[in-house]
Chain A
Amino acid sequence: MTPGTTAEPATRSELPPRPRTWPRRTLIVSALAAFTVATCLPAIGGVEIDLGAIAQNWRRGAANLSALLQPNWAFVPRTVQPMLETLQMAFVGAAIAAALSVPLTLWAARPTNPHTPSRLAVRAVINVIRAVPDLVWATILVAMVGVGALPGLLTLVLFDVGIVVKLVSEAIDSADHPYLEAARAGGATQHQMNRGLALPQNLPLFANQWLYALELNVRISAILGIVGAGGIGRLLDERFGFFAYGDVSVIILEILVVVLIIEAASHLLRRRLA
């Protein structure tokens, strides 16, 4: 650096002091650690976790495990029908949810619904739907409409709508939508903008979440039967009741394979969408 005739200062500009963040960070980490430990102390109302149970019951656990490791392949034909029912529930549920999610999502996002009261109302309904766990929905719906595939299907639709509407409407909220300003300047109604521009522009976001919902459906519908909501889960529950671990292991393996296939297919499709 030469002290020159230029207007620039010859010395380097001063480095601003680095903000001290470590005391704060240490405090947060130690608070989290202390809280975690505290939740495991029964003396102050924490959960009681008896690790000794693993050691005491290891013999029974090992026996069940070895039974599970001997799948009863002769049972496969009896699983085909319930498995198909599970897949049907998953597909139909995802399709109905996809159709319902389009208007609900556009009503739940600020750029596509500037009217605050109606937007908050839609969001409130979606949040309530999401707050109830899927198995609780299934239990309630079985009590309401009876045992079978219908309560399972309704559970999946509610679950999917909750996920898709929340994720896609938040994605729409966080993005810029300059094309909507242009359409507004040209005298378009909000409905025309949503239908003609916002929906096609954000369709890949929707498609991504629809496929994700389908993946989740296959997984969830496999266990919904445990509370009487149809599908392979009902058979799983029944064979478990008979301690037929060979049959149970066939069902578990089948669920695993089907889930993996659906996930692989959906992954391929989503990569094409991106």
Chain B
Amino acid sequence: MTLDTRAEAGTGPASAAWPIRLDGVSVTYPNGTAALRDVSLTIEAGEMVSVVGLSGSGKSTLIRTLNGLVPVTSGTVTVGPHTVTGLSGRRLRQVRGHVGMIFQGFNLATRVDVYRNTLVGRFAQAGALRGFLGVPTAHDRDVTLAALDMVGMLDKVWTRAGSLSGGQQQRVAIARALSQEPSIMLADEPVASLDPPTAHAVMGELERINADHHLTVLVNLHLMDLARQYTHRMIGLRGGEVVYDGPAAEATEADFEQIYGRRIRPQDRLGGRT
């Protein structure tokens, strides 16, 4: 399985962005918690969208329905030409291969070097035999190294991931997602474990991915200023329901109070760059 949009070696991953569509999506966990209630959304290809809400609002669940990490209870999720709902096995892995994801906790194997952590992004493209033996192609290697170069981590390629700083680990995680040559980039609270300057650097990286590679970027945030500053459209979630959907820059304090369900507090802003 190869992508048709092959970048020349060195210029890095490139592929066509995908739209995202949710139709009446509800998720109820086995313990009875209703995490999403009848959510319908359309995100155009190439949009940069934030999903804002407090913890427990359902934003982590929402982002995980898009790559099937969380199965929906009812409704339909569509990414690009694929309906994620009901997919499993090889076909689900193929769709996941086109959807990059980064996490709050970076989710790197700490005792494994940066190169092998980043190479994980190429796993979905591996043929049966190479996948079984774990042998990457020369092309896999080129794409991986180009992705690391793009986030400025090429000089750390043989370093153990666990010995890097938080910001560096998140950059490696971004490189891992980019090496998938994805059509959609998902980010679940990507800066919640980082200090303010590093958080701005990582958000800037996501902004650049959206602008330079024209990827659809969906980022979960709980801080209002980050959402306003880095994303164009904002979706507010509260109690598993969409309570705001509109331009991020123009969202008022009242809109945020509606999303949070309480008054604005100082900790709702990160501060730093304006």
Name A's B-contacting residues (CB within 8 A): 178-179, 181-189, 191-193, 195-198, 200-201, 203-204
Q: Are A192 and B123 in contact (CB under 8 A)?
A: yes
Query: Considering the chains assembled together, what is the distance between the CA atoms of A189 and B180 in angstroms?
Result: 14
Q: Are A192 and B110 in contact (CB under 8 A)?
A: no
Query: Considering the chains assembled together, what is the distance between the CA atoms of A188 and B93 in angstroms?
Result: 7
15 extra interface residue pairs, beta carbon distance < 8 Å, beyond A185-B96, A186-B124, A197-B109: A178-B103, A182-B103, A182-B120, A182-B176, A186-B100, A186-B176, A187-B95, A187-B123, A188-B93, A192-B134, A193-B123, A197-B112, A197-B117, A200-B109, A203-B111
CB-nearest residue of chain A to B95: A187
Can you pick out 18 interface pairs between chain A and chain B where the beta carbons lie within 8 Å of each other? A181-B107, A182-B101, A182-B103, A182-B107, A182-B176, A184-B96, A185-B99, A186-B100, A186-B101, A186-B124, A186-B177, A186-B180, A187-B94, A187-B96, A188-B124, A189-B123, A192-B120, A192-B134
Min CB–CB distance A250 → chain B (angstroms): 45
- Point out which of A195, A200, A201 has the most chain B C-beta atoms below 10 A from its C-beta: A201
The 9 A-B pairs at the shortest CB distance, nearest first, are namely A187-B124, A187-B96, A187-B97, A182-B107, A188-B123, A178-B107, A179-B109, A187-B93, A201-B109
CB-nearest residue of chain A to B63: A185
Total CB contacts across the A-B interface at under 8 A: 89
Q: Are A192 and B126 in contact (CB under 8 A)?
A: yes
Min CB–CB distance B231 → chain A (angstroms): 21
Q: What are the residues of chain B within 8 A of A182 when measuring CB–CB?
A: 101, 103, 107-108, 120, 173, 176
Query: Considering the chains assembled together, what is the distance between the CA atoms of A58 and B117 in angstroms?
Result: 67
Q: What are the residues of chain A within 8 A of B97 when measuring CB–CB?
A: 186-187
Q: Are B109 and A187 in contact (CB under 8 A)?
A: no
Q: What are the residues of chain A within 8 A of B105 when measuring CB–CB?
A: 178
Min CB–CB distance A107 → chain B (angstroms): 16
Partner of A195, one of B94, B95, B121, B134: B134
Min CB–CB distance B141 → chain A (angstroms): 14
Q: What are the residues of chain A within 8 A of B108 when measuring CB–CB?
A: 179, 182
CB-nearest residue of chain A to B123: A188
Partner of B111, one of A185, A195, A204: A204
Query: Considering the chains assembled together, what is the distance between the CA atoms of A203 and B111 in angstroms?
Result: 9
Q: Are B103 and A191 in contact (CB under 8 A)?
A: no
CB-nearest residue of chain A to B179: A186
Q: What are the residues of chain B within 8 A of A200 when measuring CB–CB?
A: 109, 111-112, 116
A179-B124 CB under 8 A given contacts A186-B97, A200-B112: no
CB-nearest residue of chain A to B112: A200
Partner of A192, one of B69, B101, B131: B131
Min CB–CB distance A133 → chain B (angstroms): 35
CB-nearest residue of chain B to A185: B101
Q: What are the residues of chain B within 8 A of A196 when measuring CB–CB?
A: 116, 119-120, 123, 134
Q: What are the residues of chain A within 8 A of B92 when measuring CB–CB?
A: 187
Scan B150-190; emit 1 where CB is below 8 A from any A CB, else 0.
Answer: 00000000000000000000000100110010000010000
Interface of chain B residues 16 through 74 with chain A (CB within 8 A)? 67, 69
Q: What are the residues of chain A within 8 A of B106 when measuring CB–CB?
A: 178
A186-B110 CB under 8 A given contacts A191-B132, A195-B134: no
Q: Are A186 and B116 in contact (CB under 8 A)?
A: no
Q: What are the residues of chain B within 8 A of A198 when measuring CB–CB?
A: 109
Min CB–CB distance B190 → chain A (angstroms): 12
Interface of chain B residues 77 through 100 with chain A (CB within 8 A)? 92-100
Min CB–CB distance B129 → chain A (angstroms): 12
Query: Considering the chains assembled together, what is the distance between the CA atoms of A192 and B132 in angstroms?
Result: 7
Q: Are B132 and A181 in contact (CB under 8 A)?
A: no
Min CB–CB distance B252 → chain A (angstroms): 29
Query: Considering the chains assembled together, what is the distance between the CA atoms of A189 and B97 in angstroms?
Result: 11
Q: Are B103 and A181 in contact (CB under 8 A)?
A: yes
Q: What are the residues of chain A within 8 A of B69 when measuring CB–CB?
A: 181, 184-185
A179-B117 CB under 8 A given contacts A185-B101, A187-B124, A200-B112: yes
Min CB–CB distance B179 → chain A (angstroms): 9
Min CB–CB distance A108 → chain B (angstroms): 20
Query: Considering the chains assembled together, what is the distance between the CA atoms of A187 and B98 in angstroms?
Result: 8
CB-nearest residue of chain B to A192: B123
Q: Are A189 and B131 in contact (CB under 8 A)?
A: yes
CB-nearest residue of chain A to B121: A186
Partner of A185, one of B67, B117, B134: B67
CB-nearest residue of chain A to B92: A187
- Point out which of B107, B110, B121 has the most chain A C-beta atoms below 10 A from its C-beta: B107
Query: Considering the chains assembled together, what is the distance between the CA atoms of A179 and B103 in angstroms?
Result: 10
Min CB–CB distance A181 → chain B (angstroms): 6
Q: What are the residues of chain A within 8 A of B101 when measuring CB–CB?
A: 182, 185-186
Partner of B112, one of A178, A187, A191, A201: A201
Q: What are the residues of chain B within 8 A of A193 when measuring CB–CB?
A: 123
CB-nearest residue of chain B to A202: B111
Query: Considering the chains assembled together, what is the distance between the CA atoms of A196 and B101 in angstroms?
Result: 18
Q: What are the residues of chain B within 8 A of A186 when measuring CB–CB?
A: 96-97, 100-101, 120-121, 123-124, 176-177, 180
Query: Considering the chains assembled together, what is the distance between the CA atoms of A185 and B126 in angstroms?
Result: 15
